[in-house]
A = this chain, B = another copy of it.
Amino acid sequence: MPAKKKRGAQTLVFDQPPVITSWASIAGPKEGQGPWGQDFDWSMEDYLFGEESWEKAENKMLRETVKKALNKRNFDEADTEILMAGDLLNQLVSSNYAARELGIPFLGLYGACSTMAESLLLAAILVDGEFFERVIAAACSHHYTAERQFRFPTEQGIQKTPSSQWTATAAGAVLLEPVGTGPRITAVSIGKVIDMDQKDVSDMGSAMAPAAAHTIKTHFSDLNRPSDYYDLIVTGDLGKVGMAITQELFIKDGLQPEPNYSDCGVLLYDDFQEVYAGGSGCGCSACFLCGPLLKKMSAGEINKLLFVATGALMSPITSFQGESIPAIAHAVAIEN
């Protein structure tokens, strides 16, 4: 059997584009006070969300977001065939413990901040390939669990550089089905790991921008699409620094999608919210997709969206050992 759904180097086109029949998002206190606060299903009042640790709060955020997406469609966990999810914590514990409590068969994914695109693209493959009929794709992050794991004890109040980004406290989940009403996933491009030898962990936007540009360029060339095909191309969480580099790379690559290009990390917060170069964390693009973006698609304000979540794939250990930051980006085409 030839791979009849593959186009070009890295892109798949679906015969029976899976439908996003439901979605839900949750935002942390800061994210809820940002410009899109009304577009999330919940905004948390505090960072503990009724739990005794930030880690348990993050687990609850993912679990409740999945339940909300199912409930909107009048399904519950028992109706759901498989959960594809990931987060930023070591050993993926937010997702693992959420999957334990949800009781849905589970596959854990790690793509750093690219995880929402990874879970979406694999979920679309499972539905288009006639393997499953009700698949949940989800991702989450929590500012304070990430801060103490990747950076410094939060109590220490270490000063940040202007290029650093604010890990979003947020989660998003979508339900994919083979038929129904909603936007459809029509094509996906799976990224390669790109590393331009950037070693500054306070500037992940610069490390991720070349991966985003590479995947977007490949997506257009694999599908032979004009660069104005989409109403909006949105990267995951490059922030202001990474977004500016990506725009330069677009021009160098002969793509000129501006002004229909933006970045979830730039959009999620208001300028006065002190998030340095912007938002990050896999919850950033997950909540922005499962809040403002899918709402706009429902309303017909966006009809063709290219969602490109980006991830920086280093760890504190590799940085201590002098390694540069490898990055990845996956693209998911969502169309009405």
Contact = CB atoms under 8 A, between A and B. Distances in A.
A149 B109 CA distance: 20
A109 B323 CA distance: 21
A129 B149 CA distance: 38
B313 A91 contact: yes
24 contacts: A2-B133, A2-B178, A4-B130, A55-B317, A82-B190, A90-B91, A91-B110, A91-B313, A91-B314, A93-B313, A93-B315, A97-B326, A100-B193, A100-B195, A103-B192, A103-B193, A106-B191, A106-B192, A106-B193, A107-B109, A108-B109, A108-B110, A110-B110, A129-B130
Contacts of A313: 91-93, 96-97, 100, 108
A112 interface: yes
Given A90-B317, A97-B318, A6 B193 contact: no
A198 interface: no
A138 B180 CA distance: 36
A91 B112 contact: yes
A3 interface: yes
A286 to B, nearest CB: 16
Interface in A62-107: 81-82, 86, 89-93, 96-97, 99-100, 103-107
A323 B90 CA distance: 15
Contact of A89 (B108, B109, B125, B315): B315
A111 B316 CA distance: 21
B321 A55 contact: yes
A128 B6 CA distance: 13
A86 to B, nearest CB: 7
A190 B105 contact: yes
Contacts of A132: 3, 6
A118 B108 CA distance: 9
**Quick one: which of A105, A125, A192 has the most chain B CB within 10 A?**
A105
Nearest to A1: B178
Contacts of A9: 105
Contacts of A317: 55, 89-90, 93, 149
A229 interface: no
Interface of A: 1-6, 9-10, 12, 16, 53, 55-56, 81-82, 86, 89-93, 96-97, 99-100, 103-112, 118, 122, 125-126, 128-133, 149, 178-179, 190-195, 313-318, 321, 323, 326, 328
Leading 3 A-B pairs by shortest Cβ distance? A129-B129, A91-B315, A96-B313
Given A90-B316, A91-B318, A99-B328, 17 more contacts: A1-B130, A2-B130, A2-B133, A3-B133, A90-B91, A91-B112, A91-B313, A91-B314, A93-B318, A96-B314, A97-B318, A100-B195, A100-B326, A105-B191, A105-B192, A108-B110, A122-B122
